[in-house]
Amino acid sequence: MSKFKETLTKDAGWKLLSVFIAICLWFVVINIENPVETRIFTSNLDIVNASYAEEAGKTITNADVIENTKVSVRLRGKRMVLDKIQQNKSFSAYIDISSIDMDSSPDEVSLPVRIRTGLLASDYVDTEYITPSNVDVLLDENVSKNFAVEAVFNGSVESGVSVSSDAIDPEYVKVYGAKGDVDRVDSVKATVNLDSPHNGQKVNSTLAAYDSDGNVVDGVYISRDVAVVTLKMETERKIPIQAQYTGEPAEGCSVGRMSLSPNYVYISGSPDILSGIMYITLPDVDITGSTADVIRTYDVSAYIPQGAEVAEGSDGRITVTVEITGREEHDFSFNSEDIEITGTAQGTAEIEKDTFNIEVSGGGANEENIAYSLDVTGLAVGEHRVQINVSLPEGCSLVGQAPYATVIISEENQGETSQEEEAQ
């Protein structure tokens, strides 16, 4: 023990000097190998505490711009410390949304850019500059709005076949986002990619919001990402129309040509339904007792099989005409002198001079076999309008009403009456 103590204290001064020199050399080496220097670090800008704005009912409308902003920072410190930052990739830049007073702040706020180095308290560095040192944050009110979902179709189908949506689930969705962005939304569409489609097929379609120019509106959120679209496959065909008549025309008449205008209709529906439709039959046209052409108009949509409909652009109204021929019609004129007065009036009856016209239907009528009479039974003294009786040969009929004549009833002559009494 005493020998060890003697060895430890022997030449103590020289030993202390050696330790001091070693320490000095260590500091010299450290300052040579780990000098103070500056280095530039870059990073994208992070947004922290973004939920603070959401809880206040607001949205950061330029969040994408902020997060794509490159921040450059020059740090001053020991080489080893700077190496540690670089090797650990611990450098980052950020802005803190919680520093904004959401109740009183304007819609545009400038926030300072802050940095993280991931260093311990003993790893000291100085920040010489930050570019940019401040960033503008744009805030807008969060709103939502309901939109009906529309289907749009990509792809092709066979010629003559059209595709539409028979049903969309959901029919309506809610669009969320900043008021300025939501106000730009004009429609929400479900894009349907057609690949060998068939009627009734259900297709999952991605939803997107569009403005009035047909451009996708970014920065908004839709309550559903996907809609289920049920396909409605329709084709269009030209279908002929059929019609018949029933009954017999009036005596002396016959049925001529029967025509339909138009004699076809364009209908649309699923290919399966249309393939089974050869023609469309309208109700029979009743011509019983007719002396003139019979014309009927039908709405063909009432006679189309279920599952089909009149194609867009087609009127769907069919006019059926059945011609009635063989009935002759003649015009006759006669005067008041040709009219026989029948019956007894309360005075002397005289027909005011006039000319009359009638129209007679049927063959065999002439001036010799048509008779005219006028019944004055019970007519009092004065002027009267009485309808003329027209007697026609068999098989003929009067077209329209018989004309009226003016009849004047006057008192009998008193002198003639006295002479008659004296003679008695």
| pLDDT, tens digit, 9 for 90 and up, residues 313-366 | 788 899 999 988 766 778 999 999 999 999 999 999 999 999 999 998 776 788
Strands 226-242 and 202-210: antiparallel
Closest alpha carbon to 266 in 317, 319, 316: 316
Length of the chain: 424
Closest alpha carbon to 74 in 133, 135, 134: 133
pLDDT in tens, 228-275: 999 887 788 889 999 999 999 887 778 889 999 999 998 888 777 888
Contact 373, 395 (CB under 8 A): no
Helix (H) or strand (E) holding 25: helix 12-33
Q: What is residue 107's predicted lDDT score, i.e. its pLDDT?
A: 83
Task: Give me the mean pLDDT over the 34-59 stretch.
Answer: 89
Task: Give me the mean pLDDT over the 46-71 stretch.
Answer: 89
Higher per-residue pLDDT: 212 or 13 = 212
Q: What is residue 293's predicted lDDT score, i.e. its pLDDT?
A: 87
Contact 253, 290 (CB under 8 A): yes
CB atoms within 10 A of CB 332: 16
Say yes or no to pLDDT of 189 above 70. yes
DSSP string, 186-208: -EEEEEEE-SS--TT-EEEEEEE
Q: What is the CATH number of domain 329-416?
A: 2.170.120.30
Say yes or no to pLDDT of 99 above 70. yes
Say yes or no to pLDDT of 417 above 50. no
How far apart are alpha carbons 66 and 50 in whole angstroms? 12
Paired strand residues for 127: 75
Closest alpha carbon to 219 in 59, 108, 368, 37: 59
Say yes or no to pLDDT of 17 above 60. yes
How far apart are alpha carbons 100 and 96 in whole angstroms? 8
CATH fold group of domain 141-233? RNA Polymerase Alpha Subunit; Chain A, domain 2 (2.170.120)
CB atoms within 10 A of CB 269: 23
Paired strand residues for 386: 405
Q: What is residue 22's predicted lDDT score, i.e. its pLDDT?
A: 60
Give the pLDDT band (50/70/90) at residue 421: very low
Domain boundaries, given as residue ranges, for the chain: 2-28, 34-132, 141-233, 243-325, 329-416
Give the pLDDT band (50/70/90) at residue 32: low
- How far CA 45 is from CA of 49, 131, 236, in Å, comes to 13, 11, 59
How far apart are alpha carbons 293 and 257 in whole angstroms? 10
Q: What is residue 125's predicted lDDT score, i.e. its pLDDT?
A: 87
pLDDT in tens, 113-169: 999 888 775 578 889 999 999 999 998 888 899 999 999 998 877 766 778 788 999
Give the pLDDT band (50/70/90) at residue 9: low
How far apart are alpha carbons 194 and 154 in whole angstroms? 6
Task: Count Cα atoms within 13 angstroms, Cβ side, for 132.
Answer: 13
Q: What is residue 90's predicted lDDT score, i.e. its pLDDT?
A: 85
Say yes or no to pLDDT of 26 above 70. no
Q: What is residue 193's predicted lDDT score, i.e. its pLDDT?
A: 87
Least confident of 189-193, 329-333, 417-421: 417-421
CB atoms within 10 A of CB 365: 21
Q: What is residue 414's predicted lDDT score, i.e. its pLDDT?
A: 46
Amino acid 5 reads K
Helix (H, G, I), strand (E, B) or coil at 128: strand
pTM reported for the whole predicted model: 0.45
Contact 43, 30 (CB under 8 A): no
E-strand ranges in 68-133 read: 70-78, 92-96, 108-112, 114-116, 125-131
Q: Dig out the tokens for 161 from the structure.
A: 């076949």
Task: Give me the mean pLDDT over the 400-420 stretch.
Answer: 75
CATH fold group of domain 34-132? RNA Polymerase Alpha Subunit; Chain A, domain 2 (2.170.120)
Task: Give me the mean pLDDT over the 44-53 stretch.
Answer: 91
Give the pLDDT band (50/70/90) at residue 11: low
Q: In the CATH scheme, what is the homologous superfamily, with its name and number, of domain 243-325?
A: YbbR-like domain (2.170.120.40)
Contact 264, 240 (CB under 8 A): yes
Question: Is there a common fold for 34-132 and 243-325?
Answer: yes
Query: What b/e readout covers 90-99, taking b as 16+ CB neighbours within 10 angstroms?
Result: ebbbbbebee
Tell me what the pLDDT averaged over the chain comes to: 85
